[in-house]
Structure 1
Amino acid sequence: MPSFRATLQITGLRPGHAPEDVMNMAVATVESAHVVEANQLDIVAGVPRITVRFMVEASEYDAENQFARNAAVSMAHGVNEVATTGALRSYRRSAGKWLAL
Protein backbone atom coordinates (compact mmCIF):
# COMPACT_ATOMS: atom_id res chain seq x y z
CA MET A 1 0.00 0.00 0.00
CA PRO A 2 1.36 3.44 -0.90
CA SER A 3 2.33 5.75 1.95
CA PHE A 4 1.29 9.38 2.25
CA ARG A 5 1.51 12.13 4.81
CA ALA A 6 -0.47 15.26 5.48
CA THR A 7 0.96 18.24 7.34
CA LEU A 8 -1.08 21.05 8.85
CA GLN A 9 0.00 24.22 10.64
CA ILE A 10 -1.76 24.86 13.95
CA THR A 11 -2.17 28.54 14.75
CA GLY A 12 -4.32 28.33 17.88
CA LEU A 13 -6.77 26.33 19.98
CA ARG A 14 -10.51 26.89 19.95
CA PRO A 15 -12.08 27.61 23.36
CA GLY A 16 -12.67 24.54 25.49
CA HIS A 17 -10.13 22.32 23.75
CA ALA A 18 -6.84 20.96 25.06
CA PRO A 19 -3.68 20.70 22.92
CA GLU A 20 -3.95 16.90 22.70
CA ASP A 21 -7.41 17.27 21.10
CA VAL A 22 -5.70 18.51 17.93
CA MET A 23 -3.70 15.34 17.22
CA ASN A 24 -6.51 13.10 18.48
CA MET A 25 -8.91 14.70 15.99
CA ALA A 26 -6.39 14.54 13.13
CA VAL A 27 -5.64 10.84 13.67
CA ALA A 28 -9.30 9.90 14.21
CA THR A 29 -10.35 11.67 11.02
CA VAL A 30 -7.70 10.01 8.84
CA GLU A 31 -8.03 6.55 10.39
CA SER A 32 -11.77 6.54 9.72
CA ALA A 33 -10.84 5.70 6.11
CA HIS A 34 -7.15 4.72 6.07
CA VAL A 35 -4.48 2.98 8.13
CA VAL A 36 -2.50 5.54 10.14
CA GLU A 37 1.20 4.66 10.35
CA ALA A 38 2.47 7.48 12.56
CA ASN A 39 1.88 11.02 13.75
CA GLN A 40 4.06 13.77 15.15
CA LEU A 41 4.15 17.37 16.24
CA ASP A 42 6.97 19.67 15.14
CA ILE A 43 7.64 23.35 15.69
CA VAL A 44 8.75 24.95 12.42
CA ALA A 45 9.83 28.60 12.56
CA GLY A 46 7.91 28.94 15.81
CA VAL A 47 4.66 27.52 14.39
CA PRO A 48 3.31 24.12 15.52
CA ARG A 49 2.81 21.66 12.66
CA ILE A 50 1.18 18.25 12.89
CA THR A 51 2.00 15.40 10.54
CA VAL A 52 -0.12 12.28 10.03
CA ARG A 53 1.40 9.48 7.96
CA PHE A 54 -1.05 6.99 6.47
CA MET A 55 -1.48 4.32 3.81
CA VAL A 56 -4.01 4.28 0.99
CA GLU A 57 -5.36 1.06 -0.50
CA ALA A 58 -3.41 0.25 -3.66
CA SER A 59 -5.25 1.06 -6.89
CA GLU A 60 -4.49 3.34 -9.83
CA TYR A 61 -1.77 5.98 -9.19
CA ASP A 62 -3.93 9.07 -9.72
CA ALA A 63 -6.79 7.58 -7.70
CA GLU A 64 -4.42 6.85 -4.80
CA ASN A 65 -3.25 10.46 -4.88
CA GLN A 66 -6.83 11.71 -4.88
CA PHE A 67 -7.73 9.50 -1.91
CA ALA A 68 -4.74 10.96 -0.06
CA ARG A 69 -5.72 14.55 -0.93
CA ASN A 70 -9.25 13.86 0.26
CA ALA A 71 -7.93 12.41 3.52
CA ALA A 72 -5.80 15.50 4.08
CA VAL A 73 -8.73 17.85 3.46
CA SER A 74 -10.93 15.78 5.81
CA MET A 75 -8.19 15.94 8.43
CA ALA A 76 -8.02 19.72 8.13
CA HIS A 77 -11.82 20.05 8.43
CA GLY A 78 -11.81 17.85 11.53
CA VAL A 79 -8.95 19.72 13.16
CA ASN A 80 -10.67 23.03 12.43
CA GLU A 81 -13.33 21.99 14.94
CA VAL A 82 -10.77 22.14 17.77
CA ALA A 83 -8.09 24.53 16.46
CA THR A 84 -7.37 27.29 14.00
CA THR A 85 -5.07 26.19 11.21
CA GLY A 86 -2.73 27.38 8.50
CA ALA A 87 -1.15 25.67 5.51
CA LEU A 88 -2.17 22.11 4.60
CA ARG A 89 0.19 19.99 2.49
CA SER A 90 0.08 16.41 1.19
CA TYR A 91 2.98 14.18 0.19
CA ARG A 92 3.50 10.75 -1.36
CA ARG A 93 6.43 8.48 -0.51
CA SER A 94 8.28 7.49 -3.68
CA ALA A 95 11.73 5.95 -3.97
CA GLY A 96 12.62 6.99 -0.42
CA LYS A 97 11.55 10.63 -0.87
CA TRP A 98 8.44 12.61 0.04
CA LEU A 99 7.00 14.20 -3.11
CA ALA A 100 4.40 16.96 -2.86
CA LEU A 101 1.00 16.13 -4.36
Structure 2
Amino acid sequence: MPSFRVTMTVGALMPGVAPEQVQPRAEEAAREVAVLESSNVDVVRGEARLTVRFTVEDAELALQVARFVVSSTAEVVRVGHSTVTERDGGTWRRLG
Protein backbone atom coordinates (compact mmCIF):
# COMPACT_ATOMS: atom_id res chain seq x y z
CA MET A 1 0.00 0.00 0.00
CA PRO A 2 1.35 3.48 -0.83
CA SER A 3 2.83 5.68 1.87
CA PHE A 4 1.77 9.31 2.28
CA ARG A 5 2.46 12.10 4.70
CA VAL A 6 0.84 15.35 5.68
CA THR A 7 3.14 18.07 6.97
CA MET A 8 1.66 21.12 8.65
CA THR A 9 3.08 24.20 10.31
CA VAL A 10 1.75 24.57 13.83
CA GLY A 11 1.67 27.64 16.02
CA ALA A 12 -0.16 28.82 19.12
CA LEU A 13 -1.94 26.29 21.29
CA MET A 14 -5.67 26.62 21.85
CA PRO A 15 -6.63 27.70 25.39
CA GLY A 16 -6.21 24.91 27.93
CA VAL A 17 -4.18 22.67 25.61
CA ALA A 18 -0.76 21.41 26.70
CA PRO A 19 2.00 21.04 24.08
CA GLU A 20 2.22 17.29 24.65
CA GLN A 21 -1.41 16.89 23.47
CA VAL A 22 -0.81 18.06 19.89
CA GLN A 23 1.09 15.17 18.31
CA PRO A 24 -1.13 12.47 19.88
CA ARG A 25 -4.23 14.27 18.56
CA ALA A 26 -2.86 14.16 15.01
CA GLU A 27 -1.88 10.49 15.42
CA GLU A 28 -5.34 9.55 16.73
CA ALA A 29 -7.00 11.26 13.78
CA ALA A 30 -4.82 9.38 11.30
CA ARG A 31 -5.47 6.06 13.06
CA GLU A 32 -9.22 6.58 12.74
CA VAL A 33 -9.11 6.55 8.94
CA ALA A 34 -5.75 5.07 7.86
CA VAL A 35 -2.79 3.00 9.01
CA LEU A 36 -0.47 5.29 10.96
CA GLU A 37 3.20 4.72 10.14
CA SER A 38 4.88 7.46 12.17
CA SER A 39 4.79 11.08 13.25
CA ASN A 40 7.33 13.66 14.27
CA VAL A 41 7.76 17.32 15.14
CA ASP A 42 10.61 19.37 13.68
CA VAL A 43 11.58 23.02 13.70
CA VAL A 44 12.42 24.31 10.22
CA ARG A 45 13.48 27.93 9.75
CA GLY A 46 11.96 28.81 13.11
CA GLU A 47 8.59 27.14 12.40
CA ALA A 48 7.27 24.09 14.19
CA ARG A 49 6.22 21.41 11.71
CA LEU A 50 4.20 18.33 12.51
CA THR A 51 4.43 15.44 10.05
CA VAL A 52 2.11 12.43 10.09
CA ARG A 53 2.96 9.49 7.84
CA PHE A 54 0.26 6.97 6.93
CA THR A 55 -0.81 4.41 4.35
CA VAL A 56 -4.03 4.23 2.36
CA GLU A 57 -4.98 2.73 -0.99
CA ASP A 58 -4.63 5.77 -3.24
CA ALA A 59 -3.91 9.48 -3.55
CA GLU A 60 -7.57 10.52 -3.45
CA LEU A 61 -8.02 8.83 -0.08
CA ALA A 62 -4.73 10.30 1.11
CA LEU A 63 -5.99 13.82 0.46
CA GLN A 64 -9.15 13.06 2.46
CA VAL A 65 -7.11 11.62 5.33
CA ALA A 66 -4.83 14.65 5.31
CA ARG A 67 -7.79 17.06 5.50
CA PHE A 68 -9.18 15.10 8.44
CA VAL A 69 -5.83 15.05 10.26
CA VAL A 70 -5.34 18.79 9.73
CA SER A 71 -8.87 19.67 10.89
CA SER A 72 -8.55 17.44 13.97
CA THR A 73 -5.17 18.93 14.82
CA ALA A 74 -6.57 22.44 14.38
CA GLU A 75 -8.88 21.77 17.33
CA VAL A 76 -5.85 21.93 19.66
CA VAL A 77 -3.33 24.17 17.87
CA ARG A 78 -3.33 26.81 15.15
CA VAL A 79 -2.42 25.13 11.88
CA GLY A 80 -0.90 27.18 9.10
CA HIS A 81 0.19 25.75 5.78
CA SER A 82 -0.07 22.02 5.08
CA THR A 83 1.19 19.80 2.28
CA VAL A 84 0.50 16.19 1.32
CA THR A 85 3.17 14.05 -0.29
CA GLU A 86 3.36 10.49 -1.62
CA ARG A 87 6.39 8.24 -1.44
CA ASP A 88 7.61 7.63 -4.99
CA GLY A 89 10.67 5.41 -4.98
CA GLY A 90 13.28 7.28 -2.97
CA THR A 91 11.56 10.67 -3.01
CA TRP A 92 8.39 12.37 -1.80
CA ARG A 93 6.10 13.74 -4.53
CA ARG A 94 3.66 16.53 -3.67
CA LEU A 95 -0.06 15.89 -4.18
CA GLY A 96 -2.89 18.33 -4.81
TM-score, normalising length from structure 2?
0.95
Aligned residue identity for 1:52: V
**Distance in structure 2 (CA, Å) of the matches to 1:94 and 1:8:** 20
- Among 61, 64, 73, the alignment partner of 1:70 is 64
Percent of counterpart pairs with the same letter? 37
**Distance in structure 2 (CA, Å) of the matches to 1:18 and 1:24:** 11
Aligned residue identity for 1:13: L
1:85 aligns with 2:70: no
Deviation at 1:4? 0.4
Aligned residue identity for 1:20: E
**Distance in structure 1 (CA, Å) of the matches to 2:31 and 2:23:** 12
Structure 1 runs, 4 residues or longer, greater than 6 Å off: none
**Distance in structure 1 (CA, Å) of the matches to 2:80 and 2:45:** 13
TM-score, normalising length from structure 1?
0.91
**Distance in structure 2 (CA, Å) of the matches to 1:9 and 1:15:** 18
* CA distances 1:18-75 after superposition (whole Å, capped 9, x unpaired): 1121111101001101111111000011110000111113xxxxxx111111111101
Alignment partner, residue 95 of structure 1:
89
Unpaired runs of 5+ residues, structure 2, are none
Deviation at 1:10? 0.3
Alignment partner, residue 54 of structure 2:
54
Unpaired runs of 5+ residues, structure 1, are 58-63
CA RMSD of aligned residues (A): 0.7
Matched residue pairs, number? 95
